[in-house]
Structure 1
């Protein structure tokens, strides 16, 4: 428990050190219009070593393979073929902002049938569509699978996820997204973590940097910049100056709990009011130990199973009613909780109860 709380304190102090100093605006916001676009396509992977789709279970694989062969001038109408080295896949990618025709982007390939592995496969030319249905890129290349699989008659082993892989720079951009950034008269900055204090500090920092009113806070998550007031050559020049201005962000007090791993992380501004806590464990153990009774030798009888059950109820000694003093700093909060001397799992339950009692003054997130 001591090591866990030491880790909590270390992580919390690291967080405190990270947010105590000024941070660049570019690390706190997203600029309106400067965003990527998701692309998706449906294609075929060939060249697999017998680990492809079973065409009886994935008829769509046979259909797309027939369509590709017919487009290449190969007539397969009425033919019966059952290759094991092909697989139908979904291809996904993200088109970065300001991508130009001829540029290359990474793609992710994922099997959708019962293929066992995409290792060593080659993706055949696959168009990638955006939400508007238009083709913006075309993907093709050799797949780098994320794992490996092997099996025999009596055993099988799988490492990683061999049914998914990537193709670095595997798609070529064919269409550009129409966006005239140079025509913008105003630019909105959307905070990644909306906060009125941070937005106000951002407004003040930008205005102080230019010596006049350039930025205006619209709400907790948006700060608007007047491009003309910056007197920059273009919006791109104005943005390059504004994004490097440093602001000290404000963070909400927050406690994050991961129940699966028992991890507890506390922010620097977490505070706790004086509260009394009592905690103990009740364990009920039921164990079956049936006894088989055999008949006497040469007797005309049958073996009988006699049920035998052991039931035990144990209650471990708890902490009693312990007082957790109020903390005015993170180290005092950790010291108060550490005095309870309980396990990480029990600490999570205690923090939930303290929050329910209104004594934990922080946002409580459970993952």
Structure 2
């Protein structure tokens, strides 16, 4: 038979208050953990407004005035381009009679910013399309720049600014940077505007640069708090719908939205560039306890060719003899131990202690990810 224990009512009140305090403390701890993993950023730095975007332009033209560093005679399209250009100017010259050492065929690219009007000047980039050695000292002739719809949006022309040079003589070549690519500051002029009118529009979409539901909810809440009404509504992990109030000026509303500081919860990422050996580890990366053993075996095979010369009165023949030597070096195993609560700084210091190279760090990080000791996404560039 079970025995019932009676608890005074004042004790029940104390126990209830204690449980309530525990709940409040747990909620505060959880909130502090959330705040510690987030950082503040402006909306304009982490998101864009749909429809307000750049547009890429491209064109094909010729650069003249080079000092013998243009395309060679084997490149056919520069001569054809020059012949057609001269024909439009009333000069008929056969393409085979044109020498192209002082000109180069190039592709011209530019970016058309939003709300650009006719007359707006653009910076353009010029890149050689043939086998020209250098564009230094060249002049870009008038080149139309086309958009994705095939329409002309800008015209480009002007002297080139090259950030390098290439000099060659008697088979010797000296080159600095990339002289086949140049820029023309304010060399493009907008001729056609992209239609974009916000006068009657009241609905907009805010697109986050990095899709994340938690960040999207934080952005919507911060915007609603800043404007004092429900103006933002989360659609998915990247899109947030915005609605301007009746009679409210759209530029002022969007300016207020872009200036709002919001909490951002970035993904834990490790960026790896295999080509350059660069590794960037984010501060939100979490490491689990792990023991790493790292060593290496280097085998070098060296071949040398020696000439076997007989004596002066010998009857032997002179021969080339190949001497091969094999050398193996087995490095001792290095050990790294990461305990509970280890940080990215601890990992980097440990890797530096054992003298790990960038390639070794990349291999170790990939192995840690496979073992479940690295709670982050590895992105290989």
- TM-score when scaled to structure 1? 0.87
Contact 1:182–1:236, Cα closer than 8 Å, also in 2: no
- Of 108, 121, 125, the match for 2:142: 125
- Return the alpha-carbon distance in structure 1 between the equivalents of residues 306 and 159 of structure 2: 62
| Residue 44 (structure 1) aligned with residue 58 (structure 2) | no
Report the more deviating stretch, 340-349 or 166-175: 340-349
| Residue 22 (structure 1) aligned with residue 37 (structure 2) | no
Output the aligned Cα RMSD: 2.2
Per the TM alignment, residue 306 of structure 1 is displaced from its structure 2 partner at its CA by 4.3
**Structure 1 296/51 Cα, relative in aligned 2: closer, same or farther at 3 Å?**
closer
Per the TM alignment, residue 203 of structure 1 is displaced from its structure 2 partner at its CA by 0.2
- Of 142, 148, 154, the match for 2:171: 154
| Residue 364 (structure 1) aligned with residue 367 (structure 2) | no
Please list, as runs of the form range in 1=range in 2, the aligned pairs for 1:170-181 lying within 5 A after superposition: 170-181=187-198
- Of 57, 65, 68, the match for 2:85: 68
**Structure 1 46/291 Cα, relative in aligned 2: closer, same or farther at 3 Å?**
closer
Report the more deviating stretch, 94-103 or 258-267: 258-267
RCO higher in structure (CA 8 A, sep ≥6): 1
Per the TM alignment, residue 291 of structure 1 is displaced from its structure 2 partner at its CA by 4.8
Contact 2:79–2:95, Cα closer than 8 Å, also in 1: no
- Of 250, 253, 274, the match for 1:235: 250
Structure 1 residue ranges, 4+ long, deviating more than 6 angstroms after superposition:
none
Per the TM alignment, residue 260 of structure 1 is displaced from its structure 2 partner at its CA by 4.0
Tell me the SS of whatever aligns to 1:183. Answer: coil
Per the TM alignment, residue 235 of structure 1 is displaced from its structure 2 partner at its CA by 1.9
**Structure 1 356/183 Cα, relative in aligned 2: closer, same or farther at 3 Å?**
same
Structure 1 unaligned segments of length 5 or more: list them.
Answer: 1-18
| Residue 57 (structure 1) aligned with residue 100 (structure 2) | no
**What are the Cα deviations for residues 79-100 of structure 1, in whole angstroms up to 9, with x where unaligned?**
7232421211111111110000
Specify the structure having the higher radius of gyration (Cα): 2
Name the count of aligned residue pairs.
Answer: 345
Per the TM alignment, residue 286 of structure 1 is displaced from its structure 2 partner at its CA by 2.1
**Structure 1 102/338 Cα, relative in aligned 2: closer, same or farther at 3 Å?**
closer
**What are the Cα deviations for residues 254-292 of structure 1, in whole angstroms up to 9, with x where unaligned?**
222334444332212211221222221112222334554
**Structure 1 155/249 Cα, relative in aligned 2: closer, same or farther at 3 Å?**
same
| Residue 250 (structure 1) aligned with residue 265 (structure 2) | yes
Contact 1:57–1:114, Cα closer than 8 Å, also in 2: no
Tell me the SS of whatever aligns to 2:84. Answer: helix
Per the TM alignment, residue 27 of structure 1 is displaced from its structure 2 partner at its CA by 0.6
Contact 1:271–1:326, Cα closer than 8 Å, also in 2: no
**What are the Cα deviations for residues 181-237 of structure 1, in whole angstroms up to 9, with x where unaligned?**
222221101111111111110000011112221000111111110123xx5633222
Other-structure match for 2:302: 287
- TM-score when scaled to structure 2? 0.84
**Structure 1 167/289 Cα, relative in aligned 2: closer, same or farther at 3 Å?**
closer
Tell me the SS of whatever aligns to 1:57. Answer: coil
- Return the alpha-carbon distance in structure 1 between the equivalents of residues 94 and 305 of structure 2: 66
